[in-house]
């Protein structure tokens, strides 16, 4: 498998992306080529510092870096030689099978959208995030690609999320819920209410209705659909809240001798919960709906998270969910025309 | 203080509201009158079952109950003798100083909006929820009153939230953040971007810009502004996620002898974290922006949470934040006209 990595993207670039490369080379034998895209001098220096070298690595120069303050569109239009643009071009040109970036999400989405283009009958790409819960993993879609979504986009998110849950997570006839502010049908904002009506009549979607907090963190459906703004807010709040709760527990445990002893004994239990809820374990989120594979990693991704994002890229190359999405979206479009 | 309680509202009515009354009578001496609104037979039966009796209690009959499947507006229009409508009327008629309900939020909001009406220069009421974090409490506004908000509503939320943070939480020059999918100014959906522009020019608001998950759960501003859909999603997801993490920890701790012992020793630490994050401790959320006090309790509120919601009503009566909101909203309106 050939993967392009945006080495300059992320809060801790190029250290953490190169740290991820090191771990990936050790644990992902399916990789035959890793294109390291960015400033050659910075990359070579970091490879040397971390003692990484492999014939599988190839440095591809890119002279610009997208700044977090750039808008996604501006970043792609004005910085044609940015690491993310050059990395996506490698996929577009068939040299790489997937691109991984921990950089500016908007720029990664826009570059992928413009260069790779959407699948037939998909208007907007969406980020699929694999989320934990008490009982099973679920897919949050859209986790941040398209902040101003329309009802048709959310229906397409349902189609993409279902295909992903079926073909990647192995869920048979995956259930789909619509994130809302109440489970009753008449709850929701205008976008929700309109989407709910559409999803009730979308062939091939096992729609179970509106869902809210306790549904998704306890016994979630396989797929939870929302707009990219709401999804990103859910994702970031969940990560931060989980982190804060662990910090509170840690500090309270340190407050007395006996709780400290208790904390030491219970540590393996905490560790298992931490592993179950740690976003670094998943590492990357596929951007679905495009004619090519883009994996979005967290801006603050650790080397471990970057390695897992590269692993996600390998899995995406293996599963090739794109054609399944296109088939489902086409079937939906035909059924729409048959009804109208 | 005279408070009207919607005894028929909530998932566990009338037991939990009456359970809350029992605790409130024991711990809130400021209460001089508690109007118990609902089906007199059911209320009397429950009072007897729980051994509650006091000269401060007065049953006010209401023949209807709002169903969770009703829309808020329908509930108020078609069920004129519902417990929430009758309870709000007691405030409207000056017999009670505040109303508390754990029933249908939309119905409580709509009944309060129609009967109590908004303050001058406030177009929509908003629910203010006091939230925990690693460092301090913060105000989430709107936590669910107005799911389809416009930028002007969010500015009003900032004004209301600031007045609440200042006069109820005692924060001097409270900081205000706008919930978004990124901290950079150009991040956000269309609503966010437009609101951000307005907030930068709103006199009297200490606007610090966009905030995201790690800001609010770690070192939050005093007030976080969002639309009622996003706020409700954040609130419910946070409650549910915290609950799921505690459940995971519990079940992992039970998995071996030593972690079980550790869990027992560390229990006081967990208890303190649970207390810090337990929404029942806050109990109720004031609906701000109206000419009267409405406290929204959680549908699944325990007797302890109901008591705390009644305590919130007492505190709201004491603080009288309404006139402060009106003064700030009026000053804002004058500054708008002066600029245009």
Same fold, B1-122+289-340 and B130-275: yes
Residue A339: pLDDT over 80 = no
CB B75 within 8 A of CB B82: yes
Candidate from B144, B187, B272 with C-beta closest to A181: B144
A:B CB pairs within 8 Å: 220
Taking the C-alpha atoms of residue B114 and residue B313, their distance in angstroms, rounded to an integer, is: 20
Of the CA atoms within 13 Å of residue A160, those in its CB half-sphere come to: 30
For chain A, which residues make up each domain, given as ranges? 1-122+289-321, 129-279
Q: What ipTM was reported for this prediction? A: 0.93
Residue B307: pLDDT over 70 = yes
Taking the C-alpha atoms of residue A60 and residue A39, their distance in angstroms, rounded to an integer, is: 8
CB contact under 8 A, B217 and A241: yes
**What CATH code is assigned to B1-122+289-340?**
3.40.718.10
Question: Taking Cα atoms as reference points, which of A276, A106, A105 lies closest to residue B251?
Answer: A276
CB A320 within 8 A of CB A33: no
DSSP code at position B290 = B
Check residue B340 and give its pLDDT: 64
Taking the C-alpha atoms of residue A155 and residue A333, their distance in angstroms, rounded to an integer, is: 11
Cα dihedral across residues A230, A190, B155, A183: positive or negative: negative
Residues of A in contact with B218 (CB under 8 A): 240, 243-244
Candidate from A214, A234, A256 with C-beta closest to B233: A234
CB contact under 8 A, B69 and A186: yes
Q: Are strands A206-211 and A57-61 parallel, antiparallel or unpaired?
A: unpaired
Q: Per the structure block, which two tokens stand in for B223?
A: 């007030």
Check residue A278 and give its pLDDT: 87
Taking the C-alpha atoms of residue A196 and residue A334, their distance in angstroms, rounded to an integer, is: 20
Distance from CA of A1 to the nearest CA of B (A): 33
Distance from CA of B256 to the nearest CA of A (A): 9
Residues of B in contact with A147 (CB under 8 A): 181, 188-190, 192
pLDDT, mean of residues B316-337: 92
- The model's confidence at residue A340, banded by pLDDT at 50, 70 and 90, is low
Residue B70: pLDDT over 90 = no
- The model's confidence at residue B282, banded by pLDDT at 50, 70 and 90, is confident
| pLDDT tens digits, B130-141 | 999 999 999 999
| pLDDT tens digits, A245-259 | 999 999 999 989 999
Q: Are strands A223-225 and A138-141 parallel, antiparallel or unpaired?
A: parallel
Which segments within A23-107 are labelled E, that is strand?
33-38, 57-61, 98-101
Q: State the alpha helices, DSSP H only, in chain B.
A: 15-27, 40-49, 72-78, 83-92, 105-116, 151-167, 190-199, 213-218, 228-253, 257-277, 279-282, 303-319, 322-339
Task: Look at domain A129-279 and name its CATH class.
Answer: alpha beta
| pLDDT tens digits, A48-102 | 999 999 999 999 999 998 988 788 888 888 899 999 999 999 999 999 999 999 9
Residues of A in contact with B228 (CB under 8 A): 181, 189
**What CATH code is assigned to A1-122+289-321?**
3.40.718.10
Candidate from B181, B235, B269 with C-beta closest to A259: B269
* A136, A144, A220, A248, best to mutate vs chain B, most B CBs in 10 Å: A248
CB A21 within 8 A of CB A304: no
Distance from CA of B93 to the nearest CA of A (A): 30
**Angle value at C-alpha B217, between B313 and B190, nearest 5 degrees:** 90
CB B325 within 8 A of CB B159: yes
Distance from CA of B274 to the nearest CA of A (A): 9
CATH topology of domain B130-275: Isopropylmalate Dehydrogenase (3.40.718)
Check residue B59 and give its pLDDT: 98
CB B98 within 8 A of CB B309: no
CB contact under 8 A, A190 and B148: yes
**Chain B residue whose CA is closest to A300:** B214
Q: What is the percent of chain B where pLDDT is above 90?
A: 81
**Chain B residue whose CA is closest to A149:** B189
pLDDT, mean of residues A184-209: 93
Q: Per the structure block, which two tokens stand in for A35?
A: 């294109």
Residue B289: pLDDT over 80 = yes
Check residue B195 and give its pLDDT: 97
Question: Taking Cα atoms as reference points, which of B81, B71, B40, B73 lies closest to residue B57?
Answer: B40
Lowest average pLDDT, out of A7-16, A152-161, B71-80, goes to B71-80
């Amino acid at each position: 498998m050939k993967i392009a990595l945006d080495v300059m993207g992320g809060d801790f670039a190029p250290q953490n992306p190169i740290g991820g490369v090191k771990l990936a080379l050790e644990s992902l034998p399916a990789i035959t080529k890793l294109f390291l895209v960015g400033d050659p001098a910075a990359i070579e220096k970091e490879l040397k510092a971390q003692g990484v070298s492999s014939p599988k690595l190839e440095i591809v120069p890119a002279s610009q870096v997208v700044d977090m303050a750039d808008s996604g569109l501006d970043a792609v239009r004005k910085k044609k030689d940015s690491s993310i643009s050059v990395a996506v071009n490698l996929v577009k040109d068939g040299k790489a099978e997937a691109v991984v970036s921990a950089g500016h999400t908007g720029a990664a989405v826009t570059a992928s959208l413009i260069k790779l283009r959407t699948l037939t009958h998909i208007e907007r790409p969406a980020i699929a995030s694999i989320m934990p819960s008490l009982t099973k993993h679920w897919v949050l879609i859209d986790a941040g690609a398209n902040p101003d979504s329309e009802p048709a986009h959310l229906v397409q998110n349902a189609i993409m999320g279902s295909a992903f849950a079926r073909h990647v997570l192995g869920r048979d006839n995956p259930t789909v819920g619509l994130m809302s502010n109440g489970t009753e049908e008449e709850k929701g904002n205008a976008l929700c209410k309109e989407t709910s009506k559409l999803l009730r009549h979308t062939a091939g979607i096992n729609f179970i209705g509106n869902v809210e907090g306790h549904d998704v963190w306890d016994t979630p459906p396989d797929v939870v659909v929302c707009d990219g703004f709401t999804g990103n807010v859910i994702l970031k709040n969940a990560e931060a809240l989980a982190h804060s709760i662990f910090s509170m527990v840690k500090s309270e445990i340190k407050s007395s001798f006996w709780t400290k002893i208790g904390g030491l004994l219970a540590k393996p239990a905490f560790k298992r919960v931490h592993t179950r809820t740690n976003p670094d374990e998943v590492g990357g989120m596929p951007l679905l709906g495009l004619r090519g594979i883009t994996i979005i990693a967290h801006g603050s991704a650790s080397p471990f998270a970057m390695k897992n994002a590269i692993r996600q890229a390998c899995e995406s190359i293996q599963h090739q969910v794109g054609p399944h999405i296109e088939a489902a979206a086409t079937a939906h479009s035909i059924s729409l025309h048959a009804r109208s």
